[in-house]
């Protein structure tokens, strides 16, 4: 189907406009016809290619861009085009058969998983793209867990059905086993690899045959006779799966009555929105096969803003939980989920509007910061291009120019009707490196650039080492920091030297202790007096620092409790072994004393810091290192060398399995042993093997290695 035919198929009238977007004559799309979706996948599963086809068939672009050529619309950064990967999530709006679809294309590389996290926080539904050859890959598991965390309904698209070694049913099996998903096909492929030429729609029991290699022309027909039995089998399985979840379908089953196409579609939609059912589709985006049907499924089965539960938040005045319906008539409530520095318009802040109306030039209230800000321009985004709009409504995803104080995760609302929405989870960095400017001019530019990059990316951190005088940048992996440094050089024109990557070690304790902290100073006039007694014990893995107030009888006044906590948290940033942050401890404030004149917040903050520092020394502290989950894929002939190399890197191999024509090695390995591993695995396998890693957990460093890291 060509562009004109694709547009005609939508039943929409278009006028020639700015070339950026087809303008519908009646450009009013009700909430029920709106879809806010994300496209997610493991790296190289075909996510950006799928998004490009979606934009083409909806008339949003007029020429298909290709990842390999660096010409895609959504991968607009220079770094993305050069490497052929998605680094930052990009949003756009398109229209299909009367539906408005807001699409966010997310990265597949684990180093940029924060982009997926914050996109999922504000989306209503998602498309998860699977490679029919690779099946369920490591990053697929990660994004799936993220979608589970935010209860995002999703559909699955098994892509690359034209590739050698593709296996639709094998991938389906992996989805059920590895993801625990109730994945049920609503399509099955006709042929595979070079012979993939169509799709059987199990809902309508029709075949869609593609007329040429490019996939642009397609024809609906009856199911081929040689596939009738398998089609009936999977159609029955679809109805059986729905009958377990939907009463209407069950009733039809029990009474042996026929089920209509409309009833099947309604049932699929209902159970998909409830997150109890995953519709599975197939195709090859690169060959333009299956994308139009995928768009139909987005409209048919994924939720509108009206289908998801009302957004919940805390009323800061009453501390009660409040709900806001997706309606323009409700007070404004929205979440800032992304910030970018645009070279032409300055700082862009992306918002998901849950309720109310946001107008250009109006004043808004940042509940998280307790500050008022003025909205400059309102923009509808198309990757890095913008269209100015005057107002945005409930359900919209827009960008705002002109607000300064708002950060990622902040709640924007009506000042007269305040509400605080749940913020976001940001992972801790695992890799650090030093960076220093080349000249004095670069020094000033470096500080500005790093602040901007921190605003954009909450998983990127900047700190200053007082002892060495070095600026330390920290991120989610080598590639993450490599991209940051590249952006500093190109975008911000900062000359800088960087050190070698360093591991973000942590410290913790192994036994329970009681510790006393006293801060007493006399200087002639009013002195300082703070006295705190802490119980400190090991916490659960991944719990961070838990502070509990157990003061009874007023031995420490209420106004000095938080200063003690601040002192504890401040002291925990520098451990007692090697100066690394302390994690996974429980701190209880159990006793103390105060002076009616000399006690102050500062004194109790210092007392808390002293008590923790002294307590950690007595609590048998140990050093922790980040452990990565690794998955290596290699042809059989190189498996021995790769396993031997992994063993030498302290890798604990969990399993070795077969996938298509390669061996899959899974295990856990310390990050400190894996710098430069990409080059090594390619060298060992003559370029045939590859691997993926993602942070898993922290574990105690072996004593012989820890000794080298400890402060003498």
**79 confidence band (pLDDT: 50, 70, 90):** very low
Closest CA to 458 of 17, 156, 82, 88: 88
What is the model's pLDDT at position 23?
Answer: 35
Mean pLDDT of 564-568: 95
pLDDT at 536 over 60: yes
Please compute Rg for the chain using Cα positions: 28
Helix segments in 62-112, DSSP class H: 78-83
Question: Strands, DSSP E only, in 106-205?
Answer: 125-131, 154-159, 183-185, 187-190, 198-201
Q: Write the CA distances from 230 to 87, 200, 226, 283, integer angstroms.
A: 41, 10, 9, 18
Structure-token pair, residue 30: 């009700």
Q: Which residue has the higher pLDDT, 480 or 646?
A: 646
pLDDT classification of 705: cutoffs 50, 70, 90: confident
Please, what's the largest Cα pairwise distance for the chain? 100
- If phi > 0 it is left, if psi is from -120 to 50 it is alpha, else beta; for residue 410 that is beta
Determine the pLDDT at residue 350.
Answer: 86
Residue whose structure tokens are 């100073």: 521
Three-state DSSP at 476 gives coil
pLDDT confidence of residue 25: 33
Distance CA 420, CA 281 (A): 38
pLDDT of residue 74: 47
DSSP-assigned letters across all residues of 202-271: TTTTEEEEE-STT---EEEEPPPGGGHHHHHHHHHHHHHHHHTT-HHHHHHHHTT----HHHHHHHHHHH
Separation between Cα atoms, residue 39 and residue 157, nearest integer Å: 10
Task: Specify the pairing of strand 99-105 against strand 90-96.
Answer: antiparallel
57 alpha-carbon distance from chain centroid: 27
Beta bridge partners of 633: 664, 690
Element (H, E) at 536: strand 528-538
Task: Supply the pLDDT for residue 82.
Answer: 53
Select the highest-mean-pLDDT range: 109-123, 125-139, 454-468.
125-139
What's the whole-number average pLDDT of the chain? 84
To 5 degrees, how large is the angle CA 87–CA 93–CA 62? 85
pLDDT digits (tens, 9 = 90+) for 620-641: 999 999 998 888 888 889 999 9
Shortest CA distance to 109 belongs to which of 82, 89, 90, 91? 89
| Coil/strand/helix, residue 50 | helix
CB 496 within 8 A of CB 438: yes
Q: Tokens at residue 564, please?
A: 């003690």
d(CA 124, CA 273): 9
Instruction: Identify the helix (H) or strand (E) that includes residue 513.
Output: strand 513-521
Average pLDDT over residues 61-74: 51
Percentage helix, strand, coil for the chain under 3-state DSSP, each rounded to 5 = 30, 30, 40
CA dist 33 and 156 (Å) reads: 21
Residues pairing with 692 in the sheet: 631
For range 159-185, the mean pLDDT: 93
Local structure of 193: helix, strand or coil: helix
Q: Quick one: CA torsion of 308, 458, 701, 654, rounded to 10 degrees?
A: 40
Q: How many helices (H) and strands (E) in the chain?
A: 17, 40
Cα three-residue angle 260-262-268, rounded to 5 degrees = 105
CA angle 348, 46, 107 (to 5 degrees): 30
CA dist., res. 285 & res. 127, Å (int): 13
Q: Is the pLDDT of residue 65 over 90?
A: no
Confidence at 685, pLDDT banded by 50, 70, 90: confident
| pLDDT higher than 90, residue 682 | no
Please determine, for residue 87, whether its predicted confidence score (pLDDT) is greater than 90: no
The model's pTM is 0.72
Please report, rounded to a whole number, the percentage of residues in the chain having pLDDT higher than 70: 88
Q: Is 224 a residue whose pLDDT tops 60? A: yes
Q: Side by side, which strands form the sheet with 321-324?
A: 321-324, 311-314, 420-421
Strands 321-324 and 397-401 come out as unpaired
End-to-end Cα separation, the chain, in angstroms: 71
Kindly report the number of other CB atoms within 10 A of residue 426's CB atom: 16
Helix (H, G, I), strand (E, B) or coil at 594: coil
Q: Quickly count: other Cβ atoms within 10 Å of residue 70's Cβ.
A: 14
User: Which residue, among 568, 587, 571, has the nearest Cα to 579 in the 3D structure?
Assistant: 571
Whole-number pLDDT of residue 552: 85
Going by the DSSP 8-state scheme, the letter that residue 98 receives in this structure is: T
Out of 56-60, 179-183, 512-516, which region has the weakest mean confidence (pLDDT)?
56-60
pLDDT of residue 680: 86
| pLDDT score recorded for residue 497 | 86
Distances (CA, A) of 404 to 343, 346, 419, 423: 16, 10, 20, 19
Measured between alpha carbons, how far is 620 from 546 in angstroms, rounded to an integer? Answer: 19
- Report which of 224, 222, 192, 202 is spatially closest to residue 280, judged by C-alpha positions: 202
Interatomic CA distance for residues 361 and 384, integer angstroms: 22
Contact 60, 21 (CB under 8 A): yes
Whole-number Å distance between alpha carbons of 632 and 193: 24
3-class state of residue 556 by DSSP: coil
CA distance 555 to 563: 15
Residue 447, SS3 per DSSP:
helix
d(CA 536, CA 619): 8
CA distances from 213 to 133, 286, 287 (A): 20, 11, 7
CA 72 to the chain's CA centroid: 21
Which of these, 110, 109, 144, 150, lies nearest to 127 by C-alpha position? 144
Residue 124 is encoded by which pair of tokens?
């209503």
């Amino acid at each position: 189907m060509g562009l004109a035919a694709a547009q005609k198929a939508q039943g929409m009238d278009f006028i020639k406009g700015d070339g950026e977007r087809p303008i519908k004559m009646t450009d009013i799309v009700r909430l029920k016809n709106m879809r806010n979706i994300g496209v997610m996948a493991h790296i190289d599963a075909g996510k950006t290619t799928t998004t490009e086809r979606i934009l083409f068939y909806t008339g949003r672009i007029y020429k298909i861009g290709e990842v390999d050529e660096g010409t895609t619309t959504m991968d607009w950064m220079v770094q993305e085009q050069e490497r052929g990967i998605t680094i930052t999530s990009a949003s756009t709006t398109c229209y299909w058969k009367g539906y408005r679809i807001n699409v966010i294309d997310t990265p597949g590389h684990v180093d940029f998983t924060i982009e997926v996290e914050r996109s999922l926080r504000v989306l209503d539904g998602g498309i998860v793209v699977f490679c029919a050859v690779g099946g369920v890959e490591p990053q697929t598991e990660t994004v799936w867990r993220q979608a589970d965390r935010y209860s995002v309904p999703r559909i699955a698209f098994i892509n690359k059905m034209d590739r050698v070694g593709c296996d639709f049913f094998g991938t389906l099996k992996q989805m059920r086993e590895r993801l625990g998903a109730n994945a049920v096909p609503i399509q099955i492929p006709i042929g595979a690899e070079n012979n993939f030429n169509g799709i059987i729609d199990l809902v309508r029991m029709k075949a869609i045959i593609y007329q040429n290699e490019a996939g642009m022309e397609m024809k609906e027909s009856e199911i081929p006779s040689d596939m009738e039995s398998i089609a009936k089998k999977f159609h029955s399985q679809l109805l059986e799966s729905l009958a377990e979840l939907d009463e209407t379908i069950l009733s039809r089953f029990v009474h042996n009555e026929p089920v209509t196409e409309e009833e099947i579609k309604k049932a699929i939609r209902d159970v998909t929105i409830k997150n109890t059912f995953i519709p599975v589709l197939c195709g090859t985006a690169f060959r333009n096969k299956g994308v139009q049907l995928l768009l139909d499924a987005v409209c048919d089965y994924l939720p509108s803003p009206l289908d998801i539960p009302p957004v919940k938040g805390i009323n800061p005045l009453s501390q009660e939980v409040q709900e806001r319906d997706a309606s323009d008539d409700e007070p404004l409530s929205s979440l800032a989920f992304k910030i970018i520095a645009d070279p032409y318009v300055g700082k862009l802040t992306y918002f998901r509007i849950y309720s109310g109306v946001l107008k250009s030039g109006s004043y808004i209230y940042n509940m998280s910061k307790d500050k008022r800000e003025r909205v400059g321009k309102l923009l509808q985004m198309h990757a890095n291009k913008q269209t100015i709009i005057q107002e945005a409504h409930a359900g919209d995803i827009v960008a705002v120019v002109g607000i300064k104080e708002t950060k990622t995760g902040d709640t924007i609302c009506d000042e007269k009707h305040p509400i605080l929405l749940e913020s976001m989870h940001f992972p801790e960095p695992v890799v650090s490196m030093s960076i220093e400017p080349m000249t004095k001019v670069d020094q000033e530019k470096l500080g500005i650039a790093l602040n901007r990059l921190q605003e954009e990316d909450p998983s990127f951190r900047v700190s200053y080492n007082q002892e060495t005088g070095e600026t330390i940048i920290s991120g989610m992996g080598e590639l993450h920091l490599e991209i940051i440094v590249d952006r500093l050089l190109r975008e911000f024109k900062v000359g800088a030297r960087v050190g070698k990557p360093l591991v973000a070690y942590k410290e913790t304790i192994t036994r329970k202790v009681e510790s006393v902290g006293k801060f007493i100073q006399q200087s002639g006039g009013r002195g300082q007096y703070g006295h705190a007694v802490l119980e400190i014990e090991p916490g659960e893995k991944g719990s961070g620092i838990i502070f509990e107030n157990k003061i009874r009888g007023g031995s420490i006044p209420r106004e000095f409790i938080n200063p003690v906590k601040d002192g504890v948290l401040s002291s925990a940033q520098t451990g007692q072994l090697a100066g690394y942050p302390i994690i996974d401890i429980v701190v209880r404030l159990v006793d103390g004393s105060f002076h009616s004149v000399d006690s102050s917040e500062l004194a109790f903050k210092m007392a808390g810091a002293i008590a923790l520092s002294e307590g950690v020394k007595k609590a048998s502290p140990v050093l922790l290192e980040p452990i990565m989950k690794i998955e290596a894929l290699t042809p059989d002939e190189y498996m021995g060398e790769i396993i031997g190399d992994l063993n030498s890197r302290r890798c604990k191999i969990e399993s070795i399995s077969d996938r298509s024509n390669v061996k899959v090695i899974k295990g856990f390995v310390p990050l400190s042993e894996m710098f430069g591993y990409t080059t090594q695995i390619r060298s060992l396998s003559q370029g045939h093997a590859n691997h993926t890693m993602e942070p898993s957990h922290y574990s105690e460093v072996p004593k012989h290695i820890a000794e080298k890291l400890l402060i003498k």
